[in-house]
Amino acid sequence: MTEVDLRHVALTEIDPGDTTFEIRKFTGSARLEDSFGRFGILDPLWLFEKSGGYAVVDGFSRLRWAKENGIGGLDCRVFAACEPRELWTRRIEKKIFEGEMNPAEKAQIVAVLAGVFGLGEIPGFFLSSLKVAGSPESLRKWVLVSQRGCEMLAPLAAGEISERAAMEIADWDPESSGSVLSLLRTLRCSASIQVEIIERVTEIALREGQTRVAVLAMERVRGIVANEELNHREKTAAVREYFAELRNPRLSSRRKRFQQAMEALGLPHGVRIVPPESFEGGGFHMELSFCRPDELRRIFREVTALVESDRLDSIFEKR
C-alpha cells in the first residue's frame, strides 16, 4: 500500500514546470472560481515527492489560485515512492468520480490510459465510466485527438466541434484538420451537420483528385465564410448546398432547372409541387394549402386550368 502523508508544504517547494500529471480542461469554471472565493481550498492538493521538491498530481487550478492570492503554503496529500502507473490510476479514478468532464479531458485520459496500460489492455471500468468504445480503432482515434493538442482540444472543450467530428478528422493531416476546424467554428452547426460536411470534403477531394485543403479553400467556400451579410445558419446552408453540387453535379443541375421551371410556371398561391427523391422512381406530388372552403375552390379552379394546359410539361424532362 502506497504511503500517503498529509503535510503542510510551502508553495515554493512545488515545481511549477512539472505538468506530467496535468489533464487540462481548456475552459474556465465559474463555479470553481466562486467556490475558491467563498471557501478557499477545501480539497488538498495531491503531490508526488521527488528529488528537490514536489510535483503536482491533482490540483493544478487550486495551486494557481493559491499563488494568485498570495498563499504561502497548503496542507497537501503527499505520495512518496509511488509508481507513475498507480498515481495515474488514482488520479483518473478521482477525475471520473468528480464528474463534469468535457470531451477534451476525456481524450487526454484515454491517451494516458493507452500509455500506462497499452491500447488493448485498458481496464473496462475506465472505458465504461468514460463512455468510450473499447475497439482498437476508437481508442486509436481518441489518442490522436489528444495528440493534436490545443488546436483540437480547445474547440472540443468549448463545444465548437463535436466528439464525432473530432474523431472523423483525428487522422487527417494537420493542415487539412486545421482548415476544417476553422470552417466548423465559423458555421457553429450541429454535430450531424459537422460530420456531413467532413464527409463531403473527403468525397469531393477524392472525386476531383484534390487535397482536402484545396476543397476547403475553394473561392466559393471562402466567399460564403467571408460574407458578413449571412449569419452562421445561412452560411451553413450555403456551404452544404455548394458541397452537394460538387458531390453530385448532375443532380444539383437537375434541381436548379426544376426550380427555375417552377418559378417560371407561376403556381397558384397555396400550391406546391414536390419532385421524387433524386428525380428517380416514385412520382411527383402536388400539395394544396388552404384555410377556407372558398379558398380551396379557387385553388382547384386554377389548378384545373393549369393541368388542362401544356404549361406543366416544362417541369418534366425527356430521358
Question: What's the per-residue H, E or C state across 185-239?
Answer: HHHCCCHHHHHHHHHHHHHHHHHHCCCHHHHHCCHHHHHHHHCCCCCHHHHHHHH
Do 133 and 106 contact (CB within 8 A), yes or no? no
Can you tell me the mean pLDDT for 218-222? 94
As given in the structure block, the three cell numbers for residue 131 are: 463512455
In this prediction, residue 55 has a pLDDT band, given cuts at 50, 70 and 90, of: very high
Contact 18, 56 (CB under 8 A): yes
- 257 vs 252 pLDDT, higher one: 257
- pLDDT over threshold 60, residue 1: no
Strands annotated E in the chain: 4-10, 45-50, 53-58, 73-79, 271-274, 285-288
pLDDT in tens, 110-135: 999 999 999 889 999 999 999 999 99
- Cα gap 99→285, rounded to integer Å: 52
Task: Out of 5-14, 25-34, 174-183, 238-247, pick the least confident.
Answer: 25-34
| pTM to 2 decimal places | 0.76
Of 37-41, 52-56, 98-102, 189-193, where does mean pLDDT reach its minimum?
A: 37-41
DSSP one-letter code for 159: T
pLDDT, residue 278, reads 65
Q: Predicted confidence band at 29 (pLDDT cuts at 50, 70, 90)?
A: low
Cell output for 62: 487550486
Which stretch of DSSP H or E encloses residue 81?
none
Indicate the burial class of 18 (C-beta count within 10 angstroms; 0-12, 13-18, 19 or more): middle
Residue 195 C-alpha from the chain's centroid: 9
